[in-house]
Chain A
């Protein structure tokens, strides 16, 4: 089956003052199929949000990209703004934003925003807009009784659903959820995650960008761990969260830091993206580092480490 999204060797660099460069994303490659959820996890500043912005064509002017990211025959990294605006954002990629309250237009009701998006993206005739808006709300489990509310009158969970309803309108084959659960309490995290999963089960591809490992564990089929701009592990969610567990030392440390596990932090902090060490970026914090780690480890068999934990015997 052809993947919905195919990313190859995607890199993003920012040109800074004084000729400096920041390597925000380095050589990311992955495929994402219909009906599948891939969770991209990592700490703030690891490059996962930059990767999302690159897919949506929303990088700032000083960004340089290389590689390809193909959806439906369109290379998102090469497409011009007109193509992205008219055929990609909303139509091929639906964005479930990080702060829905900020994403919704404050001075317009949810109904007005849904109807406008419906008119724009699906050309729904005026006479059918009302019914279509109700249907769109219901798809995202947004209570139709609240359609005439303004964003500030909604709770966090309701605003998240309104934003999801908007993201679903264009029937985009790929849903990109950028930290959709930040600031929500656990029940709402679970509900939001489950609803996103439902849309994947309905046949969409779902790219979940999050620092919340519990949300990833709940709904992801595969997990990609990012560290200092690179995907250091890409593996099945069951293996990752269950047995045998992650194979990359950073991914192992991240899981072990959870309060339901060891609750011990990984010593130190990630390197500056503007001053990455030669070789493996995790080496200064890694207790397995040796001379071999002076070369950047390629992602092989789903892990980028010279001394990865053994893959479990079959």
Chain B
């Protein structure tokens, strides 16, 4: 289970972005969280991805309560969760070639030896062909960079995926392609998914169930 229990979070404890948000995802389940822009769902996605410490409430991953937060949760917990954001250009280090971008989490966890094989395999899965792996972010399109960011999110074989508006900038075909990559991964590894977004048609087609933001938070 990935559990958020009455979580309050924000950037200033006096004026949290949201209060009392609760959401539970079962192993292998795909949950869509629908909300209008600016409602705070991206902050919730960051909490669920263990990248943003909540001001109050409980977060648990696979039955283990997350403790020892600094700004983020301890790394050994975070590696259970892969995360993809809306804007690949803001989340990808512009100096890294795509190959190194994808391998970054492996290097950071001391598993450099696996990198070549794993990157080649994921590049194939994500549809990154030819010489794209040798390019830097400014030399590829948004869609290609987002494919690389998705590959990076999968590189440690996470049990959970958090996708925050992963396809909001992308055309219909690239959107369908990235969702297909996520779904193929989930079928193979039984991973659970939290997909945060505003596109009802997309999330209802993609996920097992969708939750409304207003029903997840006690008070905004």
Contacts and interface: CB of A to CB of B under 8 A. Distances in A.
Contacts of B86: 183
A258 B177 CA distance: 11
Interface stretch (A42-50, A139-147, A161-169): A42-50
A183 B37 contact: yes
B205 interface: yes
B135 to A, nearest CB: 10
A43 B36 contact: no
Interface string A190-232: 0000000000000000000001010000000000000000000
Contacts of B141: 43-45, 270
Interface stretch (A81-89, A259-267, A301-309): A259-267
B175 interface: yes
A270 B174 CA distance: 10
Nearest to A183: B168
A260 B202 CA distance: 8
Contacts of B169: 44, 182-183, 211
B176 A257 contact: yes
Contacts of A270: 141
B143 A263 contact: no
Interface string B6-20: 000000000000000
B91 interface: no
Contacts of A269: 127, 129, 143-144
Given A156-B37, A268-B127, A186 B198 contact: yes
Given A185-B37, A186-B200, A188-B37, A43 B171 contact: yes
B173 A265 contact: yes
Contacts of B179: 263
Contacts of B173: 43, 253-254, 257, 265-266
Given A44-B169, A254-B173, A266-B173, A259 B142 contact: no
Nearest to A266: B173
A211 B170 contact: yes
Contacts of A44: 141-143, 169-171
Contacts of B176: 257-259, 263-265
Contacts of A156: 37-38
Interface string A40-61: 0011110000000000000000
Interface string B154-192: 000000000000001111111111011000000000000
A186 B199 contact: yes
A260 B37 contact: no
A110 interface: no
A295 interface: no
Interface in B191-220: 198-202, 204-206
A248 to B, nearest CB: 13
Given A44-B169, A182-B169, A254-B171, A259 B143 contact: no
- Most chain-A CB neighbours within 10 Å: which of B35, B168, B174, B206? B174
B201 A260 contact: yes
Contacts of B144: 269
A172 interface: no
Interface string A62-79: 000000000000000000
Contact of B37 (A184, A254, A255): A184
B201 to A, nearest CB: 5
A187 interface: yes
A260 B174 contact: no
A146 B203 CA distance: 34
Contacts of B174: 43, 265
A269 B146 CA distance: 13
A155 interface: yes
Nearest to A264: B176
A103 B116 CA distance: 42
Contacts of A258: 172, 176, 201
Contacts of B170: 43-44, 211
Q: Which 8 A-B pairs have the closest CB atoms?
A: A185-B198, A265-B177, A43-B171, A45-B141, A265-B176, A259-B205, A257-B172, A257-B176
Interface of B: 35-38, 86, 127, 129, 141-144, 168-177, 179-180, 198-202, 204-206
6 contacts: A44-B142, A187-B36, A257-B175, A265-B174, A269-B144, A270-B141
Given A258-B176, A270-B141, 15 more contacts: A43-B141, A44-B141, A44-B170, A183-B86, A188-B36, A211-B171, A254-B171, A257-B171, A257-B177, A259-B175, A263-B179, A265-B176, A268-B127, A269-B143, A269-B144
